[in-house]
Amino acid sequence: MKKILFFAVTMIALNSGADHTVETLVEKVFVPPTGFDSNDNVLVMLDGTLANQCQQVSDTDVRFDSENKVFYVRQMARVRSTKECHRSPLPRHLGLPGYFSKEISFGVLSPGEYRVEFRGSSGWSSRSFVVSETQTESTDDEIYAPVSNFFVPEMMDETESVQIVLTGVIGSRCLDWKSVEIERFNDIIVVKPKMQIVSTKFCSITPWPLEKIISLGKLKAGRYMVHVRSMNGQGLSRMFSILPDVTDVRGGGY
């Protein structure tokens, strides 16, 4: 009786046309190998592919092995139940692969060495990172700019110098721009915009805009993540691609 009931419920679910979820591939995980301390919110970027345009990025399954300090990450995709998505083969415009980038948070972690395991087209892969003991009682060991957003073009070629635009709101005239530090870890670029306290007795508690253009220079062809540090242990990340210089192939230009 239980088998018959299960079969009936299953058939109803299949015939209802409801969306369902499948696991999709995570081709790369981007996480800076160093630079986190025990006050920081550890952010990780997933980069992967969807089988077709009927799939949409859904929940991320994260499981943490606390004994070995390993995060196991699986990305799910929702398969739409439209009539077109049930056709075989799919219409050409729906059969094209999709691409996704998704940022996830591991939260604030205790000091130690960690590993992220994820599954892509070549099987399970891993990336490692280190969380150091914080050296100060404050959230940040330096005064970072209050960056609330930034822009980087999603696709450029090797002949172009990559520039990003930082924006935000500075809470008072007591803070002023100091400098920017840029760190490279192969395909990961970490930008640390720093502020300084104005050395005057009185300063206006008046908000003013932050807008800075930062040059990252020319990069080789590939897929990159740029991570910008912000106040209070926060940060923002974006993905972008650098295409090979095809000037010679196309005979002198685009």
Q: Is residue 72 part of a domain?
A: yes
Mean pLDDT of 143-150: 94
pLDDT at residue 9 in the model: 35
Q: Is residue 63 part of a domain?
A: yes
The structure tokens listed for 66 are 């606390």
Mean pLDDT of 38-42: 86
Using a pLDDT cut of 90, give the percent of the chain over it.
67
pLDDT at residue 115 in the model: 97
Q: Is residue 252 part of a domain?
A: no
Q: How many domains does the chain have?
A: 2
Would you say residue 13 has pLDDT above 60? Answer: no
3-state SS, residue 44: strand
Looking at the structure, tell me whether residues 231 and 144 fall in a common domain.
yes
Q: Is residue 2 part of a domain?
A: no
Looking at the structure, tell me whether residues 120 and 159 fall in a common domain.
no
pLDDT at residue 3 in the model: 42
pLDDT at residue 254 in the model: 42
Average per-residue pLDDT for the chain: 86
Looking at the structure, tell me whether residues 109 and 166 fall in a common domain.
no
CA–CA gap between residue 43 and residue 29 (Å, rounded): 11
Q: What is the enclosing helix (H) or strand (E) of 95?
A: helix 92-95
CATH number assigned to the domain comprising residue 153: 2.60.40
Structure confidence at residue 26 as a pLDDT band (50, 70, 90):
very high
Range of the domain at 126: 18-135
Looking at the structure, tell me whether residues 131 and 154 fall in a common domain.
no
pLDDT at residue 198 in the model: 84
Looking at the structure, tell me whether residues 143 and 125 fall in a common domain.
no
Would you say residue 163 has pLDDT above 80? Answer: yes
Q: What is the enclosing helix (H) or strand (E) of 73?
A: strand 70-79
Distances (CA, A) of 113 to 44, 65, 127, 198, 214: 15, 13, 11, 38, 31
Q: Is residue 169 part of a domain?
A: yes
Q: Which of 30-39, 190-199, 215-224 has the highest mean pLDDT?
A: 215-224
pLDDT at residue 195 in the model: 93
Looking at the structure, tell me whether residues 202 and 228 fall in a common domain.
yes
Environment class of residue 187 by beta-carbon count within 10 Å: exposed (0-12), middle (13-18) or buried (19+)? middle
Looking at the structure, tell me whether residues 157 and 130 fall in a common domain.
no
Instruction: For 91-105, give one letter per residue: b (16+ CB within 10 A) or e.
Output: eeebeeebebbebbe
pLDDT at residue 136 in the model: 67
Of 135, 169, 194, which marks where a domain is finished? 135
Would you say residue 16 has pLDDT above 50? Answer: no
Q: What are phi and psi of 9, to 5 degrees?
A: -65, -40
The pLDDT tens digits for 47-100 are 999 999 999 999 999 999 999 999 999 999 999 989 999 899 999 999 999 999
Q: Is residue 1 part of a domain?
A: no
Structure confidence at residue 252 as a pLDDT band (50, 70, 90):
very low
Of 135, 169, 198, which marks where a domain is finished? 135
Of 91, 109, 135, which marks where a domain is finished? 135
Q: Is residue 253 part of a domain?
A: no
pLDDT at residue 139 in the model: 56
Looking at the structure, tell me whether residues 242 and 150 fall in a common domain.
yes
Mean pLDDT of 225-232: 91
Answer yes or no: pTM beyond 0.85: no
Instruction: List, in order, residues 6 or more apart from 54 with CB less than 8 Å away.
Output: 79, 80, 82, 84, 85, 90, 94
The pLDDT tens digits for 43-56 are 999 999 999 999 99
Q: Is residue 207 part of a domain?
A: yes
